[in-house]
Chains A and B, each alone.
Chain A
């Protein structure tokens, strides 16, 4: 189970909560597996030049992503950073639409306008992956403000990386959220590295959840490789936000298995570190736990793997077969209310 620290509702929840049903655990495992295989397929497609731009993967963070998303209700809102493919999948968006977005196709979740870093889906209330570090924090805070304004009972979850805790928007957003008692859970995915810079080298208080104290906000740290612990900690924070309209800062320790993005060979890590990461792989570990506890044997895992692999292959084929957005749609999304005088000229067109 997770390493949950300090004064946390998470700890209380953990002692209260029963171990999830076997079918729930299997569903978590399948979700983690889908994220793993999807991201591996995305990495391959990137090297095949099917995917452009930047491509940040959730490899190694499958337990965190799955646990966090299991804590949300369908009506809750999610804001994330640019490492969000797994969140889109776990939020219930079809793998086909997520992959098609990576391929830049019109069938993609953002119609090919966003790419890897900018997945958005109104129906599942995933209100955006954001490419600027910290950019999503004020937005998510404002969404929580709107929930209260309308008298709703939705909760906003705002995911970010460890490096984000050092940007001004982090301070401004947490301060406002606490000042105004907003129903929002800020989640810091601490994978130990902002690109290649360690948390210790960038954060004067490297126990990031402690930052909450500056805003008289509750905070907790949880083992991000333990899906059940993450789910419990997040669920407690989310339900408290819902019932008491109070913000929360949750930190997950979630090592990423590979580099910052597909093209990063992570040379800043030693061979020993890389081996240790492989040994602590949360997916493999969870698989073993499920086997030892008699929930899922090797044969059943292999069957799930084949099923998930087929889903991912299908997603890639769908993406590959999907049309690119038509060039005639280039000016369709500059303004929601089109106005007179709006420029629709292509580079070589005259102004008049």
Chain B
């Protein structure tokens, strides 16, 4: 057992997997000589050489597509896209090719690749660099979308993603890279598609993922001082979605709030809310609420940015309102 950052957990896992399987290689912008914009690939070029740590031109559509083609021939590329905003430039390759090749050709060829990319606002990066568009990928059958929130999960889920035979979009988060946590030695690959109840509670269910799973913990601690016992479901996998774990929790607590870093309208939370009304209708004592980013292109100005982003305070407010609405 070692305590390490989310960043270190990712880096160590990449290294382990590259040592384990020579078909695993990493490619992306600035991942080699520069050692990664967020230093996830630090030291890997030196250890593995340019064949297995491939710096690419600034050509997201091209290098993501090339990774798909390499995966079709049996390699296991792990592609880094500097931030999820830039994945939009590779949307055709991810949606029309990575996600389709297995089905479109009748199961003749799988695409065992991973796209690692961080989402996240709150860094004053402005409108084009602060989006959380994981929904686009979570919408697509054929893709798997993972969103670990702790260093241990980052490690076990990246391991699982690399060994999986399908294309996996692996969602990281800028605000999580420096967070610390315990990572057990010899961690097994995670089971893909399983959510976790990370904090048991009796009064309300908070459904969250990625950065918001941490915000949820902060909110739950504040709520506890008010006598509200919040249960947290960390989704961990956005596709497939572990509907059972969500619904099972809400059947016990009788109400729910979704905490999401994306926009509300048509967002991840909309799917969670729909799931809850269909799977726990008779157990609901209040409408499902969603705490999400304000529906604006995220501004650069710090006060404006702070006002737009969901926070522990906003989540606490929504949970209190929801619990009050149950009339208990």
Contact = CB atoms under 8 A, between A and B. Distances in A.
Given A114-B106, A340-B191, A143 B65 contact: no
Interface residue tally on A, bucketed by range: 35 or more
21 contacts: A108-B106, A110-B104, A110-B105, A110-B106, A111-B107, A118-B105, A127-B109, A138-B97, A139-B65, A146-B73, A168-B61, A172-B63, A176-B62, A334-B102, A335-B165, A336-B166, A337-B110, A339-B193, A343-B141, A351-B278, A352-B279
Given A147-B73, A176-B59, A341-B241, A142 B193 contact: no
A43 to B, nearest CB: 24
B66 A138 contact: yes
B144 interface: yes
A179 B54 CA distance: 12
B59 A175 contact: yes
A172 B279 contact: no
Interface in B75-105: 75, 77, 92-93, 96-97, 101-105
B38 to A, nearest CB: 23
Contact of B93 (A79, A110, A135, A332): A135
Nearest to A141: B66
B57 A141 contact: no
Nearest to A179: B57
Contact of B105 (A114, A132, A142): A114
Nearest to B163: A337
A175 B63 CA distance: 11
Given A169-B62, A169-B65, A135 B51 contact: no
Contacts of A336: 102, 107, 110-112, 165-166
A113 B59 contact: no
B192 interface: yes
A273 interface: no
B74 interface: yes
A332 B106 CA distance: 9
A141 B278 CA distance: 46
A77 B242 CA distance: 39
B109 A143 contact: no
A321 B64 CA distance: 41
B59 A146 contact: no
A335 B93 contact: no
Interface in A323-352: 332-337, 339-343, 350-352
A186 interface: no
A138 B107 CA distance: 21
Interface string A132-159: 1001011111111111011000000000
Given A341-B193, A341-B237, A146 B75 contact: yes
Contact of B65 (A138, A175, A350): A138
A179 B244 CA distance: 49
Nearest to A118: B104
